[in-house]
């Protein structure tokens, strides 16, 4: 759920940073897609211009129609996909924080979204409206493990990051810590 959890000011403020799209795996795949797409695009351009633009192989031997053209199209599609991946990383989509302040009696859930009028997703409510902290576990081919905040008059609010599921031990520890801090029950175990 979090990159770091901070409790301070006499144990009255709990601040949890939520990791968004700036994960190692996203950097890895964006780099791989960029390199592969660049290779395909340069191979297509090399076959058209009959000038070798690649270091590893000689793409001038390719016939432009259909081989060079198809490689150029794959390269263009790959560059578009890589651009999307790098922009999502730059915008840190999904990143943000959960903040629970007992002094003010409020909690705030903040996430970054895609650019536009709803770029900043912010939920603010009173702590006394929190009914419980719920753990949701779905095993199988696509496992999902998440923490939710049950609030009166609202749908359950997700607190964990999207993507790779947390380990059961981490999920239980973070859920118990939050439930203890808010003095509400922990459901779903």
The residue among 79, 136, 87 whose CA lies nearest residue 113 is: 87
pTM of the model: 0.84
The first and second tokens of residue 40, run together, are 């395909």
Per-residue pLDDT of the chain (189 residues; tens, 9 = 90+): 544 566 565 688 999 999 999 999 999 999 999 999 999 999 999 999 999 999 999 998 999 999 999 999 999 999 999 999 999 999 999 999 999 999 999 999 999 999 999 999 999 999 999 999 999 988 888 888 899 999 998 899 999 887 777 888 888 999 999 999 999 999 987
Q: How far apart are CA 167 and CA 183, in angstroms?
A: 24
The first and second tokens of residue 85, run together, are 């991946």
Structure confidence at residue 122 (pLDDT): 95
The residue among 48, 96, 102, 91 whose CA lies nearest residue 72 is: 48
Structure confidence at residue 9 (pLDDT): 54
Structure confidence at residue 119 (pLDDT): 95
Q: How far apart are CA 70 and CA 64, in angstroms?
A: 9
Beta-strand ranges (E) seen in the chain are 2-8, 13-18, 96-101, 106-112, 120-126, 130-138, 144-151, 157-158, 186-187
Structure confidence at residue 10 (pLDDT): 61
Angle, alpha carbons 120-121-122 (nearest 5°): 110
Structure confidence at residue 180 (pLDDT): 92
The first and second tokens of residue 112, run together, are 């970054």
């Amino acid at each position: 759920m979090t990159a770091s959890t901070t409790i301070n000011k006499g144990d009255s403020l709990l601040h949890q940073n939520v990791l968004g799209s700036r994960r190692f795996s996203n950097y890895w795949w964006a780099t791989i897609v960029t390199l592969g797409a660049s290779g395909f695009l340069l191979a297509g351009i090399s076959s058209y211009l009959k000038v070798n633009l690649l270091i590893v192989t000689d793409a001038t031997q390719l016939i432009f129609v259909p081989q060079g053209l198809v490689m150029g199209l794959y390269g263009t599609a790959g560059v578009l996909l890589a651009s999307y991946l790098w922009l999502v990383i730059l915008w840190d989509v999904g990143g943000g924080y959960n903040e629970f302040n007992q002094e003010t009696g409020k909690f705030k859930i903040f996430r970054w979204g895609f650019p536009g009028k709803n770029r900043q997703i912010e939920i603010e409510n009173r702590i006394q409206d929190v009914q419980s902290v719920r753990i949701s576990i779905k095993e199988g081919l696509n496992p999902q493990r998440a923490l939710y905040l049950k609030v009166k008059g609202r749908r359950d609010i997700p607190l964990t990051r999207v993507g790779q599921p947390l380990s059961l031990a981490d999920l239980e520890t973070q859920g118990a810590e939050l439930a203890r801090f808010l003095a509400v029950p922990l459901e779903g175990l």
